[in-house]
Structure formats: structure tokens, C-alpha cells
Amino acid sequence: MVYGAINEKGEQWYTQMSKVFEAIKNKQKDYNWLITNIDCVPQKIEERCTGDYCWLTGEELSGIVSEDDGQWVWAVLSGFNKNITLSEVLKYSQPYAVEYKGFWRNPVSMQHPLATIEIVAWDSSLTLFFSSQEDIVKDFLNFFSFSEDLSAYNAK
């Protein structure tokens, strides 16, 4: 099962990754990350890209964010257990934010079938958060007091 949350109220910046990482108690370090659909993200992320994606360890991603904590405009950050290789990940279509209608349908789902967690920076106006682990989504919801369960949001 996949759990989801949306944060679009009560924040000055919605797509500031340091706050997202704080919300999930720095569990981003437990994963390797595929970052796709990149538009207006910190420069050091773009510098690490190969073609139209970036592949970073959680430690590398955390380090970049700690150096440059600007707002992200568009991006999908898909987190994978560290035993999953980049070659396995690239066998599937790359996740994207723009025009993806699946965010707004129940049941909520992650785009990449091997991902354990996905974070979507949506036009710098909201953050979507998904995980197969309910507790990490609850951490996100508790940290951002105006965030909402995405299934309930979609049901409105």
C-alpha cells in the first residue's frame, strides 16, 4: 500500500527540501535517489545530472541541500532501497510531475514501481509526498500542520 500527503498551505516555501528532510527525520539518508523532471533546482543538483536525471546517495543529496537550500520549482525525487541499482531503476520510465494525473486519483501510488518513497516539487507551490511506509508519511503530516492526507484530499 502507498500513503500520500500534500502540503500546500501555511508555508512560506513549499518545496524547500531541508524542511521536508527535517519532517521525515532525515530518513532520506537511507535511500539512493533518482531525480527527474528537473526544472529550477539547486545548481549543484543540475551539475550532478547525466542527461535528464540525477542519481545520488541520500548522503550526497543531504550534503547538497545543506549547502544550497533554495526552493525547488519542479522535480520528482524517487527514493530506492540501497540494494537497488541504477541499471534496475532505469529499466522503467522516469517519473515526472507536469501533466501526471495519477497524483490526483485514488488509490494514491508512486510512479516508479521500485521506489519506496517519492517527493514531488510541484511548481514551487506545493509538495507531494508518497511512501510505502505509513509512519514516514505520518511524520510528514505531523510536521507540516496544514498538510493533508492525499487520499482524503483527492476524495473531496
The predicted-structure confidence for 54-71, as pLDDT tens digits, reads as follows 999 999 999 999 988 778
pLDDT score recorded for residue 113: 97
Q: How confident is the model at residue 100 (pLDDT cuts 50, 70, 90)?
A: confident
What is the predicted pLDDT for the residue at 56? 95
Q: State the Cα–Cα distance between residues 92 and 113, nearest whole angstrom.
A: 8
Taking CA atoms, 6 is separated from 27, 67, 106, 143, 148, in Å, by 18, 26, 13, 12, 5
- Given a cut of 90, is residue 88 above it in pLDDT? yes
Return the pLDDT at 156: 92
The answer to whether 64 and 46 have CB atoms below 8 angstroms apart is: no
| Residues 127, 20 contacting (CB under 8 angstroms) | yes
2-37 residue pLDDT tens: 999 999 987 777 788 999 999 999 999 999 999 998
Confidence band for 73, pLDDT divided at 50, 70 and 90? confident
The DSSP output letter for 16 is -
- The whole-number pLDDT of residue 51 equals 81
Q: Which of 78, 130, 82 is nearest to 103 (CA)?
A: 130
**In the predicted model, what is the mean pLDDT of the chain?**
92
Number of neighbouring beta carbons within 10 Å of residue 154: 16
Residue 38 pLDDT > 90: no
Count of CB atoms situated within 10 Å of the CB of 59: 12
Q: What is the 3-state secondary structure (H, E, C) of 47-95?
A: HCCECCEEEEEHHHHHHHHHHCCCCCCEEEEEEEECCCCHHHHCCCCCC
